[in-house]
Amino acid sequence: MATAWQRWTHVTKVDPEKPLHREDSYAAIADTGTDAIIIGGTTNVTEKRVQQLVTALASVEIPIFVEPTYQPTEFYRHGLSGYLIPIVLNTGDRMWMVGAHQEWVRSMDINWEYIQTEAYIVLNPASSVATYTQANCDLDRDDVVAYAELAEHILGQEIVYLEYSGTLGDPTIVAAARDTLSSARLFYGGGIHDYDSAYEMASVADTVIVGDVLHEAGIEAVAETVRGVTDAQHKS
């Protein structure tokens, strides 16, 4: 799995606690052209529910990663490409930076080959991820750029994730964060819901992640965001 994420331009995040739209099926997510699926959410995510979802996605041939916000009790490999582990840089609670991680590492043998960390910068104060992590979202462009730079050069992170969950972010901030990175990849998530918003954010980020649009508008809307991302990539 090690570097699969380096080629992703569009990723779909499935929240185990949210139903799919109408008659959509999990298997159809791959038909949108999205590069990978991340299973993850902020509230009420349980290991059992995640494992059920991995089973529901068994026929899908694109990579499937779990982004745990719970304490995994077993290293679940069947049907999974790996785990993406968030480290929240602007959290007010060390649990989200290294606390939960330390407990997890202590509690089991981890096969590090299947682990990839992500340096999160949480930027929508109204989101549940901001509430849960007690994130300081009162950041201007230079603050965000500094977090991105330190993520890469001090913490050695290979992925910096600007998390605007629930709202479309400021493209000038996203562009500035990407410009400051040398080789780390800039992930962007938040508020992408149609072709135009996907095109706009794919023009300033390396990888865009869509979440709510899957649950609220469905597979066809996700496919539209893939088209936006593809066109933005071809333009550049």
The answer to whether 118 and 89 are in contact (CB under 8 A) is no
Rounded alpha-carbon distances, angstroms, from residue 71 to 2, 40, 50, 159: 22, 13, 12, 22
**Min separation Cβ 150 and ligand 1GP, Å:** 21
Question: Contact, 19 vs 51, CB < 8 A?
Answer: no
Closest approach of ligand 1GP to the CB of residue 200, in Å: 14
Contacts of 174 (CB under 8 A, 6+ apart): 162, 186, 188, 201, 204, 205
Q: What element of type H or E holds 161? A: strand 159-163
Number of residues located near ligand 1GP, criterion CB under 6 A: 13
Burial grade of 183 (CB within 10 A; 0-12, 13-18, 19 or more): exposed
Task: Tell which one of 10, 12, 13, 225 touches ligand 1GP (CB under 6 A).
Answer: 13
* Closer by beta carbon to ligand 1GP, 29 or else 209: 209
Site mask for ligand 1GP (CB under 6 A), range 61-90, x = bound? ------------------------------
φ/ψ (deg, to 5) at 19: -70, 160
Binding mask 187-226 for ligand 1GP (x = CB under 6 A): --xxxx----------------xxxxx-------------
Tokens 């930076």 belong to which residue?
97
Q: Does 130 bind ligand 1GP (CB under 6 A)?
A: no
| Residue number closest to ligand 1GP, CB atom | 189
In terms of CB distance, is 181 or 201 closer to ligand 1GP?
201
Nearer to ligand 1GP, 204 or 213 (CB): 213
Q: Would strands 115-122 and 159-163 be described as parallel, antiparallel, or unpaired?
A: parallel
Residues of this chain that interact with ligand 1GP (CB under 6 A) are 13, 163, 165-166, 189-192, 209-213
